[in-house]
Amino acid sequence: MADPSPTVGELFKAKAVTDEQVNAAVEVYLTVLEAGMHAIADGYVVDLDAAVVTHSWASFVLANEEASAAVRHNAVRTAILLARAQKT
């Protein structure tokens, strides 16, 4: 039986989520104050806020005003890839 809530990274490895979809989710998080649930792929959503808040490094980077845009992007991307996706 397949995992009902795989990580976004697992979906990425299985080619169910593309690099473009992950990057789009990162951009949504970085531009929308309260991003919430985001459709990451067909049949899957991920809570972007929860993904970042529960990832201590990403939270630390985003709280650091001196962090570059690239570092912020990579921190959010890592948090999203490690987050559990939910079937819709």
For residue 74, being part of any structural domain is answered with yes
Which structural domain range is residue 58 located in?
8-87
pLDDT on residue 1? 38
Which pLDDT does position 2 carry in this prediction? 61
Residue 47: inside a domain, yes or no? yes
Tell me which residues of the chain have a pLDDT lower than 70: 1-3
Identify whether 3 is part of a domain.
no
Domain count across the chain: 1
1 lies in a domain?
no
Residue 35's pLDDT is 85
**What pLDDT is stored for residue 4 in this prediction?**
73
* 2 domain residue, yes or no: no
Q: Which two tokens stand for residue 14?
A: 């299985």
pLDDT in tens, 19-31: 999 999 999 999 9
Cβ–Cβ < 8 Å for 46, 86? yes
* Helix, strand, coil content of the chain in percent (nearest 5): 55, 15, 30
- What is the separation of C-alpha 82 from the centre of its chain, rounded to a whole number of angstroms? 7
Q: Which amino acid is at 13?
A: K
**Residues near 73 by beta carbon (within 8 Å), at least 6 away in sequence:** 26, 30
Is 51 within the bounds of a domain?
Answer: yes
